[in-house]
Amino acid sequence: MNLINCNAVNCSHNKDMVCHSNRINIVGKNSNKDDDTSCGSFLDSKTYGTLTNNIFEEGNPCDCLVCNVESCKYNDNQLCSLDSIYVSGNGANLYSETSCESFCRK
């Protein structure tokens, strides 16, 4: 299970700077730097409302952190091998305005 620390405070899954989604999808297949990645699971709370009750028990981290960033050294068969990551995107309106700050090129 993964913990996603996130400063995309207007994401529907964000509660107190922690992502409360069951599944996160980091995208950016052949990224060279963290700004080339994105959180494909970002949903603008203005459109989708609050979705912070998607986890089974309050405080549990994400069940599945999918990563299609093939150039990241933490990508282990399309899953992130880190116990926690940091997603940035303060003020983001679209998923493409977010990034995985934990990205590290192979």
- Give pLDDT, residue 61: 60
- Give pLDDT, residue 58: 55
Query: Which residue positions in the chain have pLDDT lower than 50?
Result: none
Residue 90 tokens, joined: 């303060």
pTM for this structure? 0.88
Give me the DSSP letters along 37-103: -EETT--BHHHH---TT-SSSTT--BSEEEE--TTBTTEETTEE--SEEEEE-TT-SSGGG-EETT-
Residue 42 tokens, joined: 């970002």
- Give pLDDT, residue 64: 85
pLDDT in tens, 45-58: 999 888 877 555 55
Cα 80 to Cα 18, 64, 67, distances in angstroms: 17, 9, 6
